[in-house]
Amino acid sequence: MDAERAREFLLSLPHVVETQQWGDNLVFWVGNKAIGGKMFALVDLSGGLAKGVAMYAAGAERYAELVEREGLIPAPYMARIFWVAAERWGSLRNNEWEEELRAAHAITLGKLPKRVREVLELPVKEREKLIVERRKVLADREKTAFAMKQASKAEKKRQTAK
């Protein structure tokens, strides 16, 4: 397994969305983040992870067993939610990678709120329309929050100047 093959496999799973975050990390989500999707795997493209080439949700049942294996460690910052990091691609065989990533997807899908799962079951065009609308709402909220913060700063300056 390598980053490109992992990416190809992950994108073949149902309802998977890919984003690039925190530098050169590919983050894979079950469902779009805008509608409440949750991340289930991360692939490091640059070697910038403190330890490892990939991280994924292992689940409470498998976590202890997996971190006992050579090359698998508790994922930095994510171990408390039972994520595992692989120090190198050779830590698992290709079929094991696929099993683990498929399980991570299933675990995360199972934890999504009912309303998010319902959105995922909508026809593609309807779901995409809803995602676009939701992104607009989130962008408007962000603009409002920024404007309120700026107004608060201006008010504090005025009060300090008095």
Q: What percent of the chain has pLDDT over 90?
A: 51
According to DSSP, residue 162 is labeled -
Question: Which two three-digit tokens encode residue 98?
Answer: 């696929």
Average pLDDT of span 136-157: 78
Q: How far apart are CA 25 and CA 7, in angstroms?
A: 11
Task: Please give the model's pTM, rounded to 2 decimal places.
Answer: 0.77
| Total residue length of the chain | 162
Which pLDDT score is estimated for 10?
Answer: 97
Q: Is the pLDDT of residue 162 over 80?
A: no
75-118 per-position pLDDT tens digit: 988 889 999 999 999 999 999 999 999 999 999 999 999 988 88
Q: Is the pLDDT of residue 52 over 70?
A: yes
Average pLDDT of span 7-31: 92
User: Beta strands of the chain (E only): which ranges?
Assistant: 16-21, 25-30, 38-44, 54-57, 72-74, 83-86
Q: How far apart are CA 82 and CA 64, in angstroms?
A: 9
Q: Is the pLDDT of residue 153 over 70?
A: yes
Q: How far apart are CA 78 and CA 58, in angstroms?
A: 11
- CATH for the 3-112 domain, from 3.10.20.30, 3.90.1150.30, 3.30.1330.10, 1.20.140.10: 3.90.1150.30
Which pLDDT score is estimated for 47?
Answer: 67
Q: Which residue has the higher pLDDT, 39 or 34?
A: 39
Which pLDDT score is estimated for 99?
Answer: 96
Does residue 80 contact residue 58 with C-beta atoms inside 8 Å?
A: no
- Listed by start position, the domains of the chain span 3-112, 122-162
